[in-house]
């Protein structure tokens, strides 16, 4: 039976910090709404658009899965909040069932697609400015985006490809290799 390793648990805690957009110590539905609102301003797209509806569906679906897990298995209070302890248990469940990709890949692909569509003339080359926008949507400091981008741009081409972004995102969530570059996808963990 798989469980999170210490490295994976540190990264899970980092992701919890990122999803807790309002920094109240829990992940709530409002946190996902704040992420979506930031994305709609940064990319940009309107709240009436198909893009907004599609991303909203994916975020709400993820929220429901998290809440079901927290309320159904751990939190008998049914307080509509996911604590750090519940988040770690949720991530453990994803690892045990080998479901990280099913949980994160749809949102990941959708967001990558958004930036790819806005960057068509560059044949999906995510440069530092686009990486900064991604970080801003998740409430991460712009300065950290620059440092992280430089670390991930191993070929020093000034851009990351769709394949690189997807691989780094997977490594962040799933890898137990302490040297995997994807560990740094969201900055220091």
Give the number of C-alpha atoms closer than 13 A to the C-alpha of residue 11, restricted to the C-beta side. 26
| Count of helices and strands (H, E) across the chain | 8, 2
pLDDT band at 118 (very low <50, low <70, confident <90, very high): low
Which residues contact residue 102 at a Cβ distance below 8 angstroms, ignoring those fewer than 6 apart?
none
Asked whether residue 31 carries a pLDDT value surpassing 90, the answer given is yes
Asked whether residue 46 carries a pLDDT value surpassing 90, the answer given is yes
Q: Which two tokens stand for residue 81?
A: 């909040």
What is the fold, at CATH topology level, of the domain defined by 6-177?
Recoverin; domain 1 (1.10.238)
Please report, rounded to a whole number, the percentage of residues in the chain having pLDDT higher than 90.
Answer: 37
Query: Where do the domains of the chain lie?
Result: 6-177
pTM for this predicted structure = 0.84
């Amino acid at each position: 039976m798989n469980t999170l390793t210490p490295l994976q648990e540190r990264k899970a805690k980092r992701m919890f910090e990122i999803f807790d957009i309002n920094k109240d110590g829990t992940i709530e539905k409002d946190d996902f709404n704040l992420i979506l609102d930031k994305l709609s301003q940064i990319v940009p797209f309107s709240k009436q658009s198909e893009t907004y509806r599609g991303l909203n569906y994916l975020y709400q679906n993820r929220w429901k899965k998290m809440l079901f897990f927290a309320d159904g298995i751990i939190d008998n209070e049914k307080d509509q909040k996911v604590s750090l302890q519940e988040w770690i248990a949720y991530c453990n469940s994803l690892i045990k069932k080998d479901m990280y990709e099913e949980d994160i890949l749809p949102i990941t692909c959708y967001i990558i697609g958004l930036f790819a569509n806005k960057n068509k003339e560059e044949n999906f080359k995510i440069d530092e400015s686009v990486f900064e926008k991604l970080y801003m949507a998740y409430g991460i400091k712009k300065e950290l985006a620059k440092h992280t981008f430089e670390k991930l741009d191993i070929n020093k081409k000034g851009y990351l490809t769709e394949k690189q972004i997807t691989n780094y995102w997977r490594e962040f969530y799933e890898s137990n290799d302490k040297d995997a570059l994807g560990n740094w996808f969201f900055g220091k963990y």
